[in-house]
A and B are shown apart, each in its own frame.
Chain A
Amino acid sequence: GQQLNQSPQSMFIQEGEDVSMNCTSSSIFNTWLWYKQDPGEGPVLLIALYKAGELTSNGRLTAQFGITRKDSFLNISASIPSDVGIYFCAGRSYDYKLSFGAGTTVTVRA
């Protein structure tokens, strides 16, 4: 599969903060997906993006499909403790298989 560069690798959040993470690829994608994984669970789909430039929200989450089709970002506004977990980006090029980023681990700052 194609490698996606996801950053940051990890981050600490304080309740109420806005946080952002992004994914970049050397190849063009036709679909970007963002997943969240809680400990001991499978990834759960948060947002799906299908068109370059598309900006989509799901509650406090907002994601955008980059104009170049090689990147996407995810914002979480007004973070709360249950936002902790691992966030994965995934991209689809011309077939149905997905390539995944290595994940961004979000932890609450003590």
Chain B
Amino acid sequence: NAGVTQTPKFRVLKTGQSMTLLCAQDMNHEYMYWYRQDPGMGLRLIHYSVGEGTTAKGEVPDGYNVSRLKKQNFLLGLESAAPSQTSVYFCASSYSSRSSGSSYEQYFGPGTRLTVT
């Protein structure tokens, strides 16, 4: 049981390049989330998904797109990277309600450190 995994762990991009971050979870969680973490700012929600085929905007969605084609995977895309997107990106997942067990407790992956030059 690997929990939440993220690939890649590190990446350096030039301004304007594109890339996709992959998140996978094996806990059969309905909900999945993408956050970015910047120094002194905690975790900010970029996009989230409440089920396969659905996505929604979070607090800081601009410059990012997401897709959830399979329940266990949640992809975060940067179409044209900017230096302001230099950050550490975390994926998380959770059940949808208390009846599912651990309810809204979110479980995090190890993160992807992205640098845009």
Question: Within the complex, what minimum Cβ distance (angstroms) separates B2 from chain A?
Answer: 13
What 0/1 readout, one digit per residue, does chain B (77-117) give for beta carbons within 8 Å of chain A?
A: 00000000000001010101010001111111111000000
Docked complex Cα distance between A45 and B31 (Å): 17
Contacts of A31 in B (CB 8 A): 103-104
Q: Is the pair A45, B105 in contact by a Cβ cutoff of 8 Å?
A: yes
Residues of B within 8 A of A41 (CB): 110-111
Compute how far the CA of A50 lies from the CA of B90 in the bound complex, rounded to whole angstroms. Answer: 24
Q: Is the CB of A96 within 8 A of B104?
A: yes
CA distance A4 to B41 in the complex (A): 11
Q: Is B45 on the interface with A (CB-CB < 8 A)?
A: yes
Q: For the complex, is B43 an interface residue (Cβ under 8 Å from A)?
A: yes
Give residues of chain B (4-22) contacting chain A, Cβ–Cβ below 8 Å.
Answer: 4
Contact indicator B45/A97 (Cβ below 8 Å)? yes
Nearest A residue to B90, CB-CB? A42
Q: Measured between alpha carbons, how far is A48 from B33 in the docked complex, in Å?
A: 19
* Given A1-B59, A42-B90, A103-B42, A98 and B109 contact (CB-CB distance below 8 Å): no
Q: Known contacts being A48-B105, A92-B104, A96-B94, is A43 close to B43, with CB within 8 Å?
A: yes
Looking at the assembled complex, report how far the CB atom of A74 sits from the nearest CB atom of chain B, in whole angstroms: 15
Within 8 A of B (CB), among A69-110: 88, 90, 92, 96-98, 100-103
Contacts of B45 in A (CB 8 A): 1, 97-98
15 A-B pairs (CB sep. < 8 Å): A1-B59, A31-B103, A33-B106, A45-B105, A45-B106, A48-B105, A50-B98, A92-B104, A96-B31, A96-B94, A97-B45, A97-B48, A98-B104, A98-B106, A102-B41
Binding site for A on B (CB under 8 A): 4, 31, 33, 40-45, 48, 50, 58-59, 90, 92, 94, 96, 98, 102-111
What 7 A-B pairs are tightest by C-beta distance, nearest first?
Answer: A42-B108, A100-B42, A100-B43, A102-B42, A43-B108, A42-B110, A1-B59
